[in-house]
Amino acid sequence: MAHKHTAAEDIVQLILEDHKPLKKLIKIMKDTDKDLEERKAAFEQFAPLLVTHAKPEEQSLYVYMKKDEDTREEALEGDVEHGLADQMLEEAKRTDDEDLWTARVKVLAELVEHHIEEEEEELLPEFKKNSEPEERRKLGHIFLRLKDKIEVEEAVQEVEDEMAAHAPH
């Protein structure tokens, strides 16, 4: 899962790229006209992608923005929304009742959709306007390093969960 470290490491660009698959999956997850199976499959893909996007974003861009008086509040709002999404994601994973699962996943999808919209329409353009390309490349580099690290951690967690599921009780 290593990422190619090219000159085009602008963090804004990297975040926009990361949002693309999330947005596609969100559309399916919130569309209750679609079969449960299709929405479940989308959710299975969405869950790890969200985590491996949100954590590096928090730990690079948001951390950076929180140091600046002018952007602190916006970054904190992002943190709060990430926290909520995380909580809702875990709840959905533990939900067996199909209707409740559908409700939880739909609300989660709408929350993340709104969050991504705000980032793309406000936070990222403003950040781009008030930063230098060199800063954005440095942050992009950090973002990719964090993403690699979190992807490995997630993969290890998956193996551990699987082993725990198969262990004799």
CA dihedral in degrees (143, 24, 84, 44; nearest 10)?
Answer: -90
Q: How far is CA 17 from the centre of its chain?
A: 12
**In this structure, are residues 107 and 88 in contact, taking their beta carbons and an 8 Å threshold?**
yes
Stretch that binds Fe ion, among 116-124, 128-136, 147-155, 161-169 (CB under 5 A): 116-124
Taking the complex as a whole, how short is the minimal distance between the CB of residue 120 and Fe ion, in angstroms? 8
CB of 36 to Fe ion, least distance (A): 27
Cα angle 100, 104, 105; round to 5: 115
Owner of token pair 């950076």? 64
Min dist CB 19 to Fe ion, Å, is 6
Residue 165 corresponds to which amino acid?
A: A
- Please report, as residue ranges, which positions from 34 to 63 form the binding site for Fe ion (by CB under 5 A): 57
Shortest gap between Cβ of 96 and Fe ion (angstroms)? Answer: 29
Half-sphere exposure at residue 125, Cβ-oriented, CA atoms within 13 angstroms:
6
What would the x/- binding string for Fe ion be over residues 62 to 91, using CB under 5 A?
Answer: ----------------x-------------
* # chain residues binding Fe ion, by CB under 5 A: 3
Q: Considering beta carbons, is residue 32 or 87 the nearer one to Fe ion?
A: 87
Q: Which residues bind Fe ion (CB under 5 A)?
A: 57, 78, 119
